Amino acid sequence: MSIIHKSLPVIRARISRGFTLVELIVTISIVAILAATALDRLFWYQGQAEKASMEYTATMIKSGLWMGVASLMMAERTSDIPALAEHNPMNLLAQKPANYLGEMDGANVESLAGGNWFYDSSKRQVVYVVGQRRNFTPEVSGDFTVKYGMKVLYGEMELAPGNKVSYITGVALVPLSKYTWH
């Protein structure tokens, strides 16, 4: 019985020793790799969410333009439709986006916080300043904005053989910036 009694403290000493240095380093390395992968995915998802929000707002601006065109057509004021392309389309929205900064000239874009819209009154463009720039690649290096312009759309109708008449079909919001957002 004394042999069993003497071996018990030795077993307890081995069990209470904890991690070896190698085990600790391996565990920390695995946790660090998982954290880096998770952060990379998090940044990617944030960029995709910002892209979706930007595209949604652009779609709402397009809808506002089309509603303005429809309103003028219903009032038989088609001659006023080209003026829509000259004015701030954000004014056509029932409620402006919370991240809309208003009208300004686009001179100090670098000082604006990312994730915001503004209307460049000097160029007559709607501009979005990109916030999550990690996965955004602009065509022009260092230009982290997406610019939209308004374009009057025309159609053509043939009233009689050889007698074609052009007419206004609407106003479109067209992207002016080329970029990739992966």
Q: Mind listing the pLDDT tens digit for each residue in 55-75?
A: 999 999 999 999 999 999 999
pLDDT surpasses 60 at 53: yes
* pTM for the predicted model, two decimal places: 0.79
Name the helix (H) or strand (E) containing 117. Answer: strand 116-120
Once rounded to an integer, what is the mean pLDDT over residues 22-35?
A: 93
Q: What is the pLDDT of residue 111?
A: 87
The neighbour count for residue 26, using CB atoms within 10 Å, is 12
The pair phi, psi for residue 100, each rounded to 5°, is: -90, 125
CA distance 158 to 65: 27
